[in-house]
Each structure stands twice: as C-alpha cells, then as structure tokens.
C-alpha cells in the first residue's frame, strides 16, 4: 500500500505540472490545531471587518474532513500569475496584477476538474472536491503543511524559489497519499519591508494583518463607503494592492507566468487616468468581461475611482 501511495503521489504531481501548476504538495487531512487559536483571536479582534463569512463554518475551516466525507489528503497547488506587464499611464488608478487577465477562480477550477478526472481515470474511483477561494479552506496553512513555503510577515505564502505571486487552491480527496514535509523554516529574518511599505498600516505586527485596513479589503470586500481616514493613503489602488509583494525581496525570484488566460485585455493597460475617471458601464463590461474585477461591479469600481479622485 505504501508503494501505491508513493506512486499515486508522483502521478498527481506529474499531472499537476502538465496542467501548468507551479507546485503541488500533499498533506494529511487533519485538524489544524496550530491555526485554531490564531484564527479565533483574529476574529475576536474584528480584523475581518465586514467579511462576516469568515465567522461562519469555523470548524470546517480547521478540519477538511468536515468538507469531504472520508477525507484523507489535501493536495495543495499553486498557479503562477506573475507578469512584468504594467499599466502604461503611471498616474492611472492601479489594478492588482492578479486581476489583469481572466478570473482565476474559473481558470483554476477548470484545471482542478481535469486533475480530479485524471486521478479517477488512473488511480480509481476517488471522492474529492476542488477549492479555489470559494469555501472555508485555509489555503496558506495547507500550502505550508504541504511544504510549499512559509507564511511571511505580510501573511502571504512565500517560496524561496518563486516568491509569492501565485494563487493557491486545493483538492481534498479520500485516499491516503505520500505526505510532504511541512515547511518549518521562516526566511523573513529581520526584514520589515512589507510592514514599512503598507500604505494603510494594515500589517499591525509581523505575521498579523488587520484585514479591515487592507487596501484589497477596502476596494473589494467592503460594500459600504470607504472610511475617510483612508483619504490619501490608498496609493492610487482602485482594485486590490500589490505593495507588500512588490517590496518583498523574495519576489526577485518570480518568473513570468505562462498561462494564456492571464494575458491582460488589450485595452486594460492602455487606459490613462482620464479614461478610468470617465469609464462607462459599456467599457467596464468589455474590459472586464471574464475578470475577477466584475465581482465589485461597475458601481464598486466607480466608488473606488471616485474616492481616489477626491483624495488627490
């Protein structure tokens, strides 16, 4: 049986690589006892802001066996989205690079479905579920347990060979596999660049982000008006924020992604400051047709652009 576990694990990792995943690690499906007190303390301090869903399914977030019947293994995968392409106008409101191309949820979910189909074809009937940011799964904790990297002071998962510009996703399956050695080393050292650079001082301590102050939260998750205290502190971000990754020394090892779906829309990078300020719903629908930006809708983007304009 041990021999089968090793062979199955190698097969899964080989097929994941063929599908374009940057890494694939495997951890035993069990209760995340280290994460439980951290998550509870973070929620009690209200650092999730208006993200009420973070309070829901507390037990499921910590135990994958409550998400998939008979779960034995968590297959953690990373998909690179790093690009050196930039918006042409340095004065234009900024969009996080992860949203330049097609919505990663769908791109990754399609790949996970293919991987699960291959597992069923080559290993046998396996019960499993794919997770891409859409269910109570602690992606970074599982990636760390699967040996993919450590959780940095900016709370992003960082890999010594590839940095942090990648998406995380999981397949939780009901078969025993060969488990990788969890990442235990922390390579942040004495560096505090991410903490020092955060425009809204959201990294309130090493390894702790107050989500309610994070620009990504303010521009994406927050449904009400952006609080006035953040006037002049948004660093011109209208959707998401890359600051804590841009300044991270480990991202000098980032390599360009090869995913054609992540290629930016032709018009997106060329739009200047005034194009964004005058954007119409028709242009929004065209430029962000299959984009993660559609999540905040036209009204949300206009709110963000208006807030930046009033902060000038």
- Please give the pLDDT value at position 54: 83
- Please give the pLDDT value at position 57: 80
- Residue 160 clears pLDDT 80, i.e. is over it: yes
Interval 38-67: pLDDT, tens: 999 998 999 988 888 888 888 999 999 999
Q: Which is it for the CA torsion 173, 176, 181, 186, positive or negative?
A: positive
Q: In sequence order, what DSSP letters do the residues of 2-51 get, joined into one string? A: HHHHHHHHHHHHHHHHHTT-SEEEEEE----TTHHHHHHHHHHTTTTTT-
- Residue 205 clears pLDDT 90, i.e. is over it: yes
Q: For 79-102, what is the mean pLDDT?
A: 97
- Please give the pLDDT value at position 298: 98
Place of tokens 């392409």: 85
- Please give the pLDDT value at position 134: 72
Q: In sequence order, what DSSP letters do the residues of 166-218 get, joined into one string? A: EEEEEEEESS--PPPPPP-----TT--HHHHH-TT--EEETTEE-GGG-HHII
Answer yes or no: 133 catalytic.
Answer: yes
Out of 63, 110, 133, 235, which one is annotated catalytic?
133
Helices and strands per DSSP (H, E), number in the chain: 11, 10
Q: For 3-28, what is the mean pLDDT?
A: 96
Q: For 24-35, what is the mean pLDDT?
A: 96
- Please give the pLDDT value at position 2: 61
Interval 99-131: pLDDT, tens: 999 999 999 999 999 999 999 999 999 999 999
- Residue 229 clears pLDDT 80, i.e. is over it: yes
Out of 2-11, 99-108, 170-179, 185-194, least confident range: 2-11
Cβ neighbors of 5 (< 8 A, separation 6 or more) are 176, 177, 178
32, 186 in Cβ contact below 8 A?
no
45, 213 in Cβ contact below 8 A?
no
Q: Where are the domains of the chain?
A: 1-180+187-312
- Please give the pLDDT value at position 136: 82
Torsion of CA 302, 213, 42, 64, to 10 degrees: 40
- Residue 146 clears pLDDT 60, i.e. is over it: yes
Q: Residue 311: which pLDDT band, with cuts at 50, 70 and 90?
A: confident
110, 103 in Cβ contact below 8 A?
no
Q: CB atoms < 10 A from the CB of 181, how many?
A: 10
Q: Which helix (H) or strand (E) holds 160?
A: none
Q: How far apart are CA 109 and CA 127, in angstroms?
A: 16
- Residue 312 clears pLDDT 80, i.e. is over it: no
């Amino acid at each position: 049986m041990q021999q089968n576990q090793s062979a199955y694990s190698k097969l899964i990792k080989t097929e994941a690589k063929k599908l374009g995943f940057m890494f694939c690690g495997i951890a035993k499906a069990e209760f995340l006892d280290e994460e439980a007190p951290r998550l509870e303390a973070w929620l009690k301090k209200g650092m999730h802001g208006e993200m009420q869903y973070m309070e829901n399914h507390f037990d499921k977030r910590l135990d994958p066996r409550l998400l998939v019947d008979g779960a034995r293994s968590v297959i953690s995968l990373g998909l690179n989205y790093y690009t050196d392409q930039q918006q042409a106008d340095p004065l234009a409101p900024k969009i996080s690079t992860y949203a330049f191309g097609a919505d990663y949820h769908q791109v990754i979910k399609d790949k996970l479905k293919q991987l699960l189909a291959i597992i069923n074809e080559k290993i046998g009937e396996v019960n499993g579920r794919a997770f891409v940011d859409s269910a109570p799964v602690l992606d970074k904790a599982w990636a760390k347990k699967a040996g993919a990297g450590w959780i940095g002071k900016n709370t992003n998962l960082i890999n010594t060979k590839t940095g942090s510009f990648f998406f995380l996703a999981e397949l939780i399956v009901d078969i025993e596999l060969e488990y990788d050695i969890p990442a235990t080393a922390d390579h942040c050292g004495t560096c505090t660049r991410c903490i020092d650079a955060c425009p809204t001082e959201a990294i309130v301590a090493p390894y702790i982000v107050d989500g309610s102050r994070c620009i990504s939260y303010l521009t994406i998750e927050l449904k009400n008006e952006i609080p006035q205290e953040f006037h002049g502190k948004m660093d011109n971000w209208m959707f998401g924020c890359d600051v804590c990754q841009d300044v991270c020394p480990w991202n000098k090892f980032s390599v360009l992604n090869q995913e054609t779906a992540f290629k930016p829309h032709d018009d997106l990078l060329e739009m200047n400051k005034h194009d964004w300020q005058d954007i119409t719903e028709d242009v929004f629908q065209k430029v962000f047709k299959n984009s993660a930006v559609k999540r905040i809708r036209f009204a949300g983007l206009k709110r963000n652009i208006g807030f930046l304009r009033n902060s000038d």
